[in-house]
Amino acid sequence: MYNRHLSYRTLNPALNSNTFKNINKKDSLFLNEGMTIKGTVDKTALALCLLLISAYYSFSQANFTLMALAGMIGSFLFLTLIFKKSWAPFIVPLYSISQGFVVGGVSYLYNSQYEGIVLQSVLLTILVLFSMLFAYRSKIIKPTQNFKLAIFSSIMAIFVLYFIGFFMGLFGTGLSILDPRNSSLASIGASVFIVAIGAFSLVIDFDFIEEGAEKGAPKYMEWYGAFGLLVTLIWLYFEILRLVAKLRNR
């Protein structure tokens, strides 16, 4: 049977070509119900609300110990969920809250140097989200095999760049092209490219969710779809923060 949802995915570990393998409806609390697009949208909205609440608290308190602790807990929950998808209804809300503390702490650091940057970045992230959703639903952007391959290759290159920057940071130098204080055209161009790839990754995430609904995936996969979309949105927001900071330095 022909499947218009091609198997090539991004490097988002939550949403990849193996996600629908080895999932069992017997693990679901709702044996007679399957994954739906509306259900996934509702779960995504709830996850985002939890993230925003904890982010606001973290931002207002500027508690970096809490941010670090939440980051470690979030990493543990992330890895657990990758291998135990049926736990998504319980883990995703906790993951959203933990990542909210991280997002709030990072946002505070940026806002302390660039007043108003957080609101700008949040609005831009929302704009990108709905723009990509419109482009996907109206078929302006189609997640073809070549499209997914291009995004996959680009994310590979970006993560290599992140790794190099992290490694150089251990020696106190860092990678200047990733420095939010670097307002050179090359640095801004790199951030624009990363933000664009993050935006296009949303299209592939939408395609994943639609595929899950069409395949009748278990009900808990709605939470898992929300989790994958949340991962992309957090990454996109952080990169938009970095880009806006560079632009404001010019």
For residue 104, the enclosing domain spans: 33-248
DSSP state string for 135-186: HHHTTSS---HHHHHHHHHHHHHHHHHHHHHHHHHTTT---GGG-TT---HH
**Position 13 in a domain:** no
**Position 9 in a domain:** no
**Position 159 in a domain:** yes
Identify the pLDDT of residue 157.
Answer: 92
* Per-residue tokens: 179: 């420095």
CA-wise closest residue to 83 among 185, 7, 13, 154 = 13
**Position 25 in a domain:** no
Interval 225-235: pLDDT, tens: 999 999 999 99
**Position 12 in a domain:** no
**Position 15 in a domain:** no
On whether the CB atoms of residues 218 and 25 are closer than 8 A, the answer is yes
145 or 193, greater pLDDT: 193
Interval 167-188: pLDDT, tens: 888 887 778 899 999 999 999 9
**Position 110 in a domain:** yes
pTM, two decimal places: 0.86
Domain total for the chain?
A: 1
**Position 16 in a domain:** no
Say how far apart CA 55 and CA 129 lie, in whole Å. Answer: 19
Interval 90-103: pLDDT, tens: 999 999 999 999 99
Identify the pLDDT of residue 22.
Answer: 54
Interval 85-136: pLDDT, tens: 889 999 999 999 999 999 999 999 999 999 999 999 999 999 999 999 999 9
